[in-house]
Structure 1
Amino acid sequence: MADKALRRKAKVAIFISGTGTNMAALLYASLLDASPYEIVLVASNREDAAGLEIASAEGVPTFVHSHKGHSRAEHDAAMEKALVSAETEYLVLAGYMRILSDDFVRRWEGRILNIHPSLLPKYKGLDTFARAIAAGDSHAGASVHIVTPELDAGEVLAQARVAVRSGETPETLADRVKYAEHQLYPRAVADYVSRSYDAGYLYDRVSEMALALPESHSRDSHGLPAFRVGTEKSGKFFAHFSENHHGSEHIAVLVKTGGIDELLNLVEAHPETYFKPAYYGASGWVGLILNRPGVDWDHVADWLERSWRSVAPARLTKLRDAADMF
């Protein structure tokens, strides 16, 4: 795994509308030495949101912008300006009682998390505990999920189950689920923001992209997981996955450049993105660094395809060109 000393804390902002108990759980978890995130902003649409005082007492910057008298787009723009000013990388919703506009969500795609009081995909929306009790469910609970334009429909990252007791009411069930939420949310946020440093997660993403290219398959090369195009017998390598190879501090995908001059130019111009890998660098392979914040996965996909094209048979590249025309 990547050296923990290389990691820096992810910058997380939290939107609240009320008491902010989940916000407090996230905030105090962030103050632990091992936390992979820090809270850089707590913002609300309500000036009287009690959670603002908790955040302020701990030295966390706060921001308030009332939604009253403003369109959804205007209000979202003001909140987003505060996020950008705080250099936010991830937004966490914790009792934020406003539905974000589709445009806002798309701009922050994959970087907004929410906690919902049910075991999704069950009971999207409101009155989740009453619905669980009425259905005779043995358990209720909470789900942390990625926010998408469709309400409560994003990928579920983690869940906590809470037993439904005999004679349970929505109120008593809600009280106990809240305890579970306070354990669940900080752990789920920590796991999610840490994925950019997790070799297994990064390999899975690279592998999915590489193997989606025509006639690609995986095979180890000099101790590295790698990807080839063509037959098992005569295929050619177009990418290698490197985790701290030859003492490197990077988790990276190695791809083919046009030669040593291009490689050196890339490394000199963008040392935060590229490096010259040991052994492979002499042959014009460049390391595209993955264990860093803000990786552009479309950029990674483009490099994989370019590298694939450099060694793929002409019949495959022609077929792909034809397919891209439609």
Structure 2
Amino acid sequence: MAEKARIVVLISGAGTNMAALVYASRIGDCPYEVVLVASNDPAAAGLALAAAEGIATFALPHKGMTRDAHDAAMEAAVLESGADTIVLAGYMRILSDGFVERWAGRMLNIHPSLLPKYKGLDTHARAIAAADSHGGTSVHLVTPELDAGEVLAQVRVPIVPGETAESLAERVKLAEHQLYPRAVADYVSRWRNPGWLLEQLRARALALPETSEQESFGSAGFRVGEGKSGKYFAYFSERPHGHDRIALLAKTSGMDELHGLVEDQPETYFKPAFYGASGWVGIILDRPDLDWGDVDAWLQRSWRSVAPKRLTRLLDIADEF
């Protein structure tokens, strides 16, 4: 089984969503473990629950501290825990932009509305006042703008006749306890999800000039050029012949480079059984430490090796300066 993601949960109160995350992590093959629960309130009830479950805790009151100083202390505790993801669960502090930016793509929050509706507070009352048919909850990535990050998952909760903000909040809380563990698990394990990996690769490949997607031998392939004159420059291969990995296949300069890459970095590269004889290299995508900048570089290089001269001429001139 792959190594579990290590998450820190930040709380300010009872920690019911934190508890849902903890107990979900103890079931089956959950892809994450909670390594620290931290709070800006030493009296937060959730800290005692975490301690009872054998989870390390950290608490530091924010009163009398600047936001940056308090965030720095919280982040230091996170780093010391060895965590790779921060999950906010009722953490009633607005984080500094610097903290959020350093953890971009690695910090999640849950919000009691169907974002982008009703950012901020009083979400249930606002949904009822607007005569909405449903309230709900959303898990999203944290960005410097409040409640504005990419929405990863949502659950809708019906608003019934005679609904109050309090009654709706109770049912939305139940939905949160189901949604948050599932959304966190899906997010931290996305690096081994073929659908997510293909989506990322497709967006990058089709952003290059005059490219299109065309299936080849059951795999998604990407071509440059028009009509029959178009040429493949990349393939997405899910567990290619003889390899139990998910990979990008791209063109190298030849067999010497291919063999050198495979010999020097076997954890990253392999020789594809079907395409390797033509100098294509397999670049393993299902790695938690994958650098998408490297993937972009391989796509551009492979595209450039087969693209029509009219497309590459300006790039060739730029390389001379």
How would you bin the TM-score normalised by the shorter chain? over 0.9
Q: Does 1:213 align with 2:208?
A: yes
Q: 1:323 to 1:74 in 2, by over 3 A?
A: farther
The 10-residue stretch of structure 1 (231-240 or 247-256) with the greater mean CA deviation from structure 2? 231-240
Q: Does 1:313 align with 2:308?
A: yes
Pick aligned residue for 2:75 from 47, 56, 80? 80
Identity of counterpart residues, as a percentage?
Answer: 65
Pick aligned residue for 1:143 from 132, 138, 143? 138
Report SS of the residue matched to 1:241. Answer: strand
1:53 maps to 48
* 8 Å contact kept, 2:14–2:44: yes
Question: Aligned partners of 1:148, 1:268: CA distance in 2, in Å?
Answer: 41
1:96 maps to 91
What count of residue pairs does the alignment treat as equivalent? 319
Question: Offset at 1:314?
Answer: 2.0
The alignment's TM-score, normalised by the length of structure 2, stands at 0.93
Q: Does 1:204 align with 2:187?
A: no
Question: Offset at 1:241?
Answer: 1.0
Structure 1 alignment gaps of length 5 or more: none
Question: Offset at 1:19?
Answer: 0.7
Q: Does 1:68 align with 2:63?
A: yes
* Superposed CA offset, 1:47-82 (max 9, x none): 111111211222222222322222222222222222
Structure 2 alignment gaps of length 5 or more: none
Report the residue type matching 1:313 in the other structure: P
The alignment's TM-score, normalised by the length of structure 1, stands at 0.91
Question: Aligned partners of 1:165, 1:322: CA distance in 2, in Å?
Answer: 66
Report SS of the residue matched to 1:301. Answer: helix
5 Å-filtered alignment, 1:1-16, equals: 5=1, 7-16=2-11
5 Å-filtered alignment, 1:22-61, equals: 22-61=17-56
Q: 1:206 to 1:73 in 2, by over 3 A?
A: same
Question: Offset at 1:198?
Answer: 1.1
Report the residue type matching 1:221 in the other structure: S
Q: 1:116 to 1:245 in 2, by over 3 A?
A: same
Q: 1:78 to 1:284 in 2, by over 3 A?
A: farther
Question: Aligned partners of 1:228, 1:322: CA distance in 2, in Å?
Answer: 23
5 Å-filtered alignment, 1:226-265, equals: 226-265=221-260
Q: 1:270 to 1:75 in 2, by over 3 A?
A: farther
Question: Offset at 1:9?
Answer: 2.0
5 Å-filtered alignment, 1:120-199, equals: 120-199=115-194
Question: Offset at 1:216?
Answer: 1.3
